[in-house]
Structure 1
């Protein structure tokens, strides 16, 4: 059967995203066919579109969606036709009204969570879950730094930190974004276009600096992030929206007090079915409790995926963005 989808035959700007008809086949062993109701937009999609993260071409794009299972292939038992499901992860191909996909990343969606909320929260919410409960176990009373605090991941992180009793310092690029991060629960907000990040961290912490910094910006903030860490602090570099971090000497870590550094990925923290289910259950519970609210601030028709990418790269989006088939 045919479905509308976004496909790319080359890497480049938003203009390489083509809205076309694709053939969607029956699910094979270990696969499911999902009729999608909402699709998540994430910065990792830009990395694949531009070629920063290589992938075979031609290809679909997108790693997050929510919908209803229409059919399953041999060996699939954890979901069945009619189930409401959500997912986040490879392979690319979420930008489609209908897709046949590996079933192992599908998670059944609680009735209390709608499709749009689910598609907007899964990748970003699971990211915060593993960052705070896997990469580093944050503790009540700690003060941490989280860059891009008014983005989709950032606003979830602000709320999650507040729920855990953690003092989150968020960085943003405007007064409007500062207000969003503060409302979401950031204890302090630094506008990097008006303030020096390192100087403000020293002021906030009375010179003690921080045990951990979460940085999804990359090139523009990397050294500043290192300079905000106390001896033996942890640098968590989990994205590069400003560009890839250039090569640097490990001596930089020694000079700043034996720092640790990690470059985590969601795939590594949801590598087993049990781990995926546990992290998803924690995320669902936070959302159902109201401690974390998913703020969808932009909705684009799937046909306008290129415009959505343009807005995302220009930092004109806040909160979460979804595509609607």
Structure 2
């Protein structure tokens, strides 16, 4: 099982150092000066942008890995389909082989039955009979025998000649047997050809099966890496979102401070105008009472509209 550290090293991506993150406490937010908050907002913005960039790179690599996973799964599926197609052909050739072997067995059974009918498989062979006759004739020619032994020897020779003649006659009449044997051997040969195809196709099917298993294994490995990369993406994105949230909070607080300052300025201006008005009314009263006004007093009366 791959780890985050292995994925970071393998794909040469920047590890997220939490020490680089920017913290924002409630005390900082409520009691920090405007200058401090502006500085903190800049830090939060910059770190947020760094983390968003980091998250984007991790998301891109995750998507690449997911795409490679799909490619491997598609490759495995292609091998699966090819394997299944070959296995179907294997089964077809097996069925044909078995059918032909059964047919050949039946033909060879017929051959054996025909041999038994012809008795070619029993008794002595032609060569053996010819050799025995030759031996008996040689004995007849070389040995001195009495009449009885001579008669018995001649009878044996005649008997074996008859058997030899019968055997030769049967052998001469074996065309049907030869044709049957030839047909049986042809059928068996055709069955052997189908068996060879079974072996060849089964080997190819096994190759595709092995490649399918390997492709699925690679897909699983890449998917594990993609999952780890996704966790790294989430880690960076959540940190970026937190920095953005804190940045927005600081911005909101700065707007509140701006409003408070603006209100204070308005209050100060209103208070100043009220003081100027009161002063101008006092000057105007003096003017009505006949006192002489200097230039500054006249300007104050003009500013308030009393003159």
- TM (norm. structure 1) is 0.16
- Bigger helix share: 2
- TM (norm. structure 2) is 0.16
- Bigger strand share: 1
